[in-house]
Amino acid sequence: MQGRVAIVTGAAGGIGEAIVRALGEQGISVLGTGRNAGKLLALKDALAGTVEFDFVAIDATSSEAPRLIVDAAVEKFGRLDVLVNNAGSFNFGPVDKTTDEMLDEVLGISLRAPFRLCREALAIMGEGSSILFIGSTWGLYGTPGGGAYSTVKAGQIGLMQTMAAEYGPRGIRSNYVAPTVVRTEMTDAFWNLDFFRRTNHELTPLQRDCTAADIGNMVAFLASDAAGFVNGQTIAVDGGISTTRYLSPAAIGAVRQ
């Protein structure tokens, strides 16, 4: 993968940084994007000497964002081989409690922005390229309170599958990574709450936390030639929660009050 170039949106977050690091370990140069220039600069400093990384601080929903992001990757690194649509909004709630403002935010960040960035990137991507969406298991099954969040995650799958059919003949692969809830700075505060454990830990066969590195490693694999015939697929990184009816022994033996 040496010499190839990737764009990673939402690069300064926990999962985004893990993706950047995993791609960098494969010799890929990375252009990261995000709204917070300070966090992106700190990441660039942290990666110095290990990953060839630069960034564009920009609102992904702005009209000029796709052109500026793709142009920056080409100007800095000379080409574009991998696009990772990682940025998103974690704004969710029941449909009847979802305001137009909430809906527009999630649609704008998690569906419209990736659609427009893919459109721009496809103009210059060639054979052997890879487009990836970082979605969620909430896009695979019904979840109470999913609302707009689950809607756009499922919508990303539709976009991915359409592009897999449309651009597969050009040698451009499109795939979707569906993580379970990942332990990051954002989720750490409620990780051990009883409700969260009941709805996540006790339904997951693998008895460890899903980490950002787990997601980064899957992205690096799907972007590589080792996954050269993987196209149009949704791959869950979730310890088995989406495909089993597992219930922990503690939950099975719990006495209802």
DSSP 203-232: G-SS-S---HHHHHHHHHHHHSGGGTT--S
Measured CA to CA, the distance from residue 140 to residue 242 in angstroms comes to 8
1 closest CA partner among 32, 30, 23: 23
Write down the catalytic residue from 149, 167, 176, 246.
149
68 closest CA partner among 23, 109, 105, 116: 116
176 assigned to active site:
no
Measured CA to CA, the distance from residue 83 to residue 172 in angstroms comes to 11
Strand pairing report for 234-237 and 5-8: unpaired
Measured CA to CA, the distance from residue 110 to residue 134 in angstroms comes to 10
Residue 85 neighbours by CB distance under 10 Å = 27
Measured CA to CA, the distance from residue 69 to residue 57 in angstroms comes to 9
Residues 44, 55: contact at Cβ < 8 Å?
Answer: yes
Instruction: Indicate if the alpha-carbon torsion angle 50, 79, 114, 64 is positive or negative.
Output: positive
Residues 164, 121: contact at Cβ < 8 Å?
Answer: no
Q: Which residues are designated catalytic?
A: 149
